[in-house]
Structure 1
Amino acid sequence: MINVIVSYQVKPEFVTENKLNIENFLNSFKSLDNNKFNYSVFLNTDGVTFTHVSNYQDEQIQKEVLNTPSFLEFQKKRDDSGLNDSHKVQVLEYIGSTNNII
């Protein structure tokens, strides 16, 4: 299993557009096999920090998810919006959960 947390801050004027872009790729993800991955996005109480939490059964589904055209478009728009150095990627070892993640 692959577990990743990505966090970043956007400019306040980009928050609404970023939310729409996220909604767009999450809708696209619904057409994929959701038994093989989980993808959630959160907005911090500061109103500008987004956190993406993803769990993948294996590299194959991770590649499929991350190469979805709407996700690639989201990334480009997000990066072009002028991110600061807040972008952080963490790969985590799964230990356990109260629910079955995948």
Structure 2
Amino acid sequence: MKTVKVTYTVQPSFVEQNKVNVATFINDLKKLNNPNLRYGAFLKEDGKTFVHISSFKNEDVQKVLFELPSFIEFQKQRDNSGLELEPQIETLDHIATTAPTLD
């Protein structure tokens, strides 16, 4: 299982549009109903820093996300919005969870 955490900060004027863009690609992921992919997006207390955490059974499953048109559009708009903090990408090692793992 591969887990990735991405953190970035948008301009206050882009927060609402980013929420819409995130919801759009999350809805598209839900429609795929892929049991080997989990994705969550969160907004920090400052109201403009987003945290995305995704888990994939393997890199082939991760490609499903990277090739999703709504995810590509989300990234394009995010990156062109004048970010306050560029995406920080971290790979996380799984220790334990209450949910079934994707191993």
TM bucket (normalised to shorter chain) is over 0.9
Aligned to 1:97: 97
State whether structure 2 residue 28 is matched by structure 1 residue 28: yes
Contact map agreement 2:10 2:85 (CA 8 A) in 1: no
- How far apart, in 1, do the equivalents of 2:21 and 2:84 lie? 19
Following superposition, the deviation at residue 101 of structure 1 comes to 3.8
Contact map agreement 1:6 1:87 (CA 8 A) in 2: yes
Aligned to 1:38: 38
**C-alpha RMSD of the superposition:** 1.1
Partner SS for 1:87 = strand
Q: Which blocks of at least 5 consecutive residues in structure 1 are unaligned?
A: none
Correspondence list, 1:1-102, <5 A: 1-102=1-102
Q: Which blocks of at least 5 consecutive residues in structure 2 are unaligned?
A: none
- How far apart, in 2, do the equivalents of 1:101 and 1:17 lie? 32
TM-score by length of 1: 0.94
Deviations 1:29-84 (A, max 9, x none): 11224310100000001000000000001111101112100000000000000113
Runs of 4+ with deviation above 4 angstroms: none
Following superposition, the deviation at residue 86 of structure 1 comes to 4.1
- How far apart, in 2, do the equivalents of 1:25 and 1:7 lie? 17
Percent identity between the aligned chains?
42
Partner SS for 2:39 = strand
